[in-house]
Amino acid sequence: MTTSVVRIEDKLYQNRYLVDAGRPHIKVRQHQSPSSNLLALTLVCPANCYGVNEHGQVEVTADGCMECGTCRVLCEENGDIDWSYPRGGFGVLFKFG
Ligand code: SF4
């Protein structure tokens, strides 16, 4: 009997994204050192859109965002990020199968 392992990366790869070049729909507000909530985004984003740069600041690359809203719930109210949906026609296109 064989078992197959389904990896999240394999599922995410099936999605399609239309990137709105130069108009990211999520922005991290400028900071010297990140808040704990901002740092948490590097762990909780299912699409791995957040990372820490060489200066210890959190950055976002929203191209693969699935619009799940996790980062919005965690950080928008305290002002760490600006979040909006992509313009019509841009963003994620979910595919199943
Ligand atoms: S909305 Fe979800 S997928 Fe998109 S950047 Fe935030 S946590 Fe990641």
The top-level CATH class assigned to 19-87 is alpha beta
pLDDT higher than threshold 70 for residue 75: yes
- The domain locations on the chain are 19-87
Determine whether the shortest distance from the Cβ of 40 to ligand 1 is under 6 A.
no
Confidence of residue 80 (pLDDT cuts 50, 70, 90): very high
Q: How far is the CA of 70 from the centre of ligand 1 (A)?
A: 6
Residue 88 C-alpha to ligand 1 middle, in angstroms? 18
The stretch 15-22 carries a mean pLDDT of: 92
Please give the Cα distance from 18 to 12 (Å, whole number).
Answer: 14
Ligand 1 centroid from CA 56, angstroms: 20
Per cent of the chain over pLDDT 90 is 76
